[in-house]
Amino acid sequence: MQMNRRKALASAGAFGALLVAGLLRPVAALAAWNRAAFGAKSAPDVMKGLGVANAEPSTAIVIEAPQIAENGAVVPIEVMSNIPGTTALAVMIEKNPFPLASRFDFMDGALPFVKLNVKMGETSDVRVVATAGGKHYVATKEVKVTIGGCGG
């Protein structure tokens, strides 16, 4: 790639300015990532890590997932909460080596809904925890996997 000296200097200057302005913070400070919950190896430990161990069962959490997933490498999962005031959703694949697949915070302006593709090592319950008004609610749905998607 060719880049003239003036352009290179200009972009270096811009980068420096961003650093000074504090817009580029170190990765560690930038990334809010719950190491305890994501590193937990069982669903109960994940729930402890997320601080939602006392979640009560709810039928107002809707989990759309295939009953049988032929390819564990790409399992579509759609999650929605009908609990008023839901601010967070966490998705766990109970039998994965690290069950927590993702968690989302929904601010004003977003609906408590997410659809994503996950890897599943084997047939497992998908467990979803919703947080609303400081309380936690949980629902599960089993997905049968015919070919796992974690190993190589």
Partner 1 sequence: MSAGPMRMRATLGSGFTDVRVLMSHVMETGQRKDASGQVIPLHFIQNVTVKLNGKTVVEGEVSQAVSRNPVFSFRLKGGQKGDKIEVSWLDNTGVTNKTEGAVA
Separation of alpha carbons 125 and 29, rounded Å? 34
Binding mask 20-39 for partner 1 (x = CB under 8 A): -------x--xxxxx---x-
Angstrom distances, CA of residue 20 to CA of 7, 23, 132: 20, 8, 39
Q: Is 142 in the site for partner 1 (CB under 8 A)?
A: no
Query: Does position 60 bind partner 1 by CB under 8 A?
Result: no
Q: Would you count residue 149 as binding partner 1 (CB under 8 A)?
A: yes
d(CA 34, CA 129): 15
Which of residues 53 and 110 has its CB atom nearest to partner 1 in the complex?
110
Bridging pattern class, strands 56-57 and 124-132: unpaired
Shortest Å distance, C-beta 17 to partner 1: 18
Residue 18 near partner 1 by CB under 8 A: no
The reply to whether 140 sits near partner 1 by the rule CB under 8 A is no
9 counts as binding partner 1 under rule CB under 8 A: no
SS3 string of 35-49? HHHHHCCCHHHHHHH
98 lies in the binding site for partner 1 (CB under 8 A): yes
